[in-house]
Amino acid sequence: MRFEDQRRLLVQELRQQGIRDEAVLAAFSKVPRELYVLPQYKDYAYRNRPLPIGQEQTISQPLMVAIMLEHLELKPEDLVLEIGTGSGYECALLAEIAGEVCSVERLEELSLTAQGVLKEAGYKNIYFRIGDGAQGWLKAYPPHKEFDKIIVSAGARQIPTRLQEQLKLGGILVVPVGTCAYQILTKVIRTENGYSVSEHGACAFVPLISK
């Protein structure tokens, strides 16, 4: 079956699993996941499962990515901070919906590979930083201080304080919080009185490593 047909079936599956945000579904319809997996896994690119991408990291299950993007409540004008560039797939989905994406990756080889794929795909609204994702967008270009939305593709022991501080008023942070084996998908909204926190089900991500 052609990749295009597999992509269409994946979007149908996401709808059946409860994803309703049309912008998120449109992004999944457009971004070719097969470009963001290792060559030996291309035949599995549209199965609803995580896949290895090297260096003990994974490309996340499409349904989990869709759930996280839906919780972000993305808008076309949003400035988004992504923690965990990984293969670049989630970054491409974000770039299809939001105005600008700043993506941080700890592992240089992963970041450089993703940058190459995303550049080849023609994205011009993505910026990259190699470093400690728990610290957010520091000493990087463009020199943004705050973001409308922040998404973390790694499990944190607790909600990262530095990321909360980089949320704009009304901004949303989505992050898995818990142990290495088990996390809860957590949504944080910055309010005039502090932060509103809600939990949205179990998940499992590689750990967020911070110095």
Q: What distances in angstroms separate CA 110 from CA 84, 152, 176, 185, one per listed residue?
A: 10, 16, 21, 24
Distance from C-alpha of 80 to C-alpha of 98, rounded to nearest angstrom: 7
Among residues 29, 60, 153, 198, which one is catalytic?
60
Distance from C-alpha of 110 to C-alpha of 153, rounded to nearest angstrom: 14
Distance from C-alpha of 182 to C-alpha of 184, rounded to nearest angstrom: 7
| Segment holding 16, helix H or strand E | helix 3-16
Look up 196 and say whether it is catalytic: no
Query: Whose CA is closest to 100, among 127, 133, 135?
Result: 127
Alpha helix positions (H), 40-88? 62-72
Joined tokens for residue 42: 């291309």
Distance from C-alpha of 157 to C-alpha of 169, rounded to nearest angstrom: 24
Give 129's Cβ-side CA count (13 Å radius): 21
To the nearest 10 degrees (0 to 180), the angle between helices 22-30 and 3-16 is 160
* Residues designated catalytic: 60
